[in-house]
Amino acid sequence: MAVTCFLGKQGIAFRGRDETDESHNKGNFLECMSLLTKFDPFLQRYTAPSNTTYLSSDSQNEMIECCSQELTENIISEIKGAYMYAIIADEARDGKTEQLALCVRYVSVEGAVKERFLALTEVSQFDATSITAAIENQLVKKGIDQLKCVALTYDGAAVMSGDVGGLHRYLQKETIDIAQAVTYKNAVTDTMKQKRSDTTAADLYSRTIAMCEANQIAVESSSGQRRKRMDEYVVESTCGAGSETCGSSESEDLKRKLLFPCLDRMICELERHFSGVNEDVLNGILSGNEHRQRIQVQV
């Protein structure tokens, strides 16, 4: 098992073209076992039964499958803990066989960004319909089809990202719900408005300073620096962020010039994108949905 894990970790092929006793190169797996036997007294004394050596190609495949299942289960468990993920799909031809490599990107509960290989599946042809079916089948098979897929990234076949192929439209078709989107928008904007407060700004500043001190990051005051307003940057704030106040503290300065303007900008953009949506009609539709869920958003 240790040799199997080592070869898999290094991405090295297991078998050779000729694994007979007369061969001078029996492949990486058997050659590694032969090398270990030279230095391991236990292996030197051990004589395995002829029918249970666990060195055959079938035994190797079974061990590889066991390792694969264990790793995949751990990855799926982490994805479920993250509640959302992004799909990374790539074309991977093996000779004349069309294959699709499916990877996922997510943030673990510890806050680490991870990219993991999830599956390699054959596809009949590389068109949007076939690729969509292959991706959806793998998501269902892995049990993560009900989680939120927040991004789709592709490489290789032009049909994946092209406007003609429209793979993203096929994948999004199953989950489009404009009424639910409006509810999410309202929840997010309400939360942002609540976060736009002196208390939130002070807490964020104190936590940032503490993090910098813990990691020995120097915090330089910007009071003596010359401030330059960028021509292409537009500040949209209702708290007087555009005015200069002499003697203001560093935390107050960052609140007025960075935090509040950013929150105002995001709120304005959300309102602008949904400006043409009749929320009253959509809320009426959503209220009649027996599967409606209460939405709670935390920022």
The top-scoring range by mean pLDDT among 95-99, 157-161, 214-218, 225-229 is 214-218
Q: How far apart are CA 153 and CA 42, in angstroms?
A: 50
Looking at residue 74, its pLDDT comes to 92
Q: 237: burial class by Cβ within 10 Å (0-12, 13-18, 19+)?
A: middle
Looking at residue 243, its pLDDT comes to 43
Q: pLDDT for 183-231, tens place per residue?
A: 777 888 888 898 899 999 999 999 888 888 888 888 776 554 444 544 4
Between residues 96 and 237, the one the model is more confident about: 96
Q: pLDDT for 109-155, tens place per residue?
A: 888 899 998 888 888 777 777 888 888 888 899 888 888 888 888 76
Instruction: Please tell me whether residue 141 adopts helix, strand or coil conformation.
Output: helix
Amino acid at 173: K
Whether the Cβ atoms of residue 14 and residue 60 lie closer than 8 Å to each other? yes
Residue whose token pair is 């958003």: 297
Q: pLDDT for 65-84, tens place per residue?
A: 888 888 899 999 999 998 88
Among the listed residues 121, 139, 142, 117, the one whose alpha carbon sits nearest the alpha carbon of residue 130:
121
Whether the Cβ atoms of residue 55 and residue 34 lie closer than 8 Å to each other? no
Beta strands in the chain (DSSP E): 84-91, 99-107, 113-122, 148-155
Predicted TM-score of the model (pTM)? 0.52
Amino acid at 285: I
Q: How far apart are CA 192 and CA 264, in angstroms?
A: 9
Superfamily of domain 81-176, CATH level 4:
archaeoglobus fulgidus dsm 4304 superfamily (3.30.2170.10)
Q: What does the domain layout of the chain look like in residue ranges?
A: 2-55, 81-176, 182-285
Between residues 180 and 257, the one the model is more confident about: 257
Residue whose token pair is 């027996």: 290
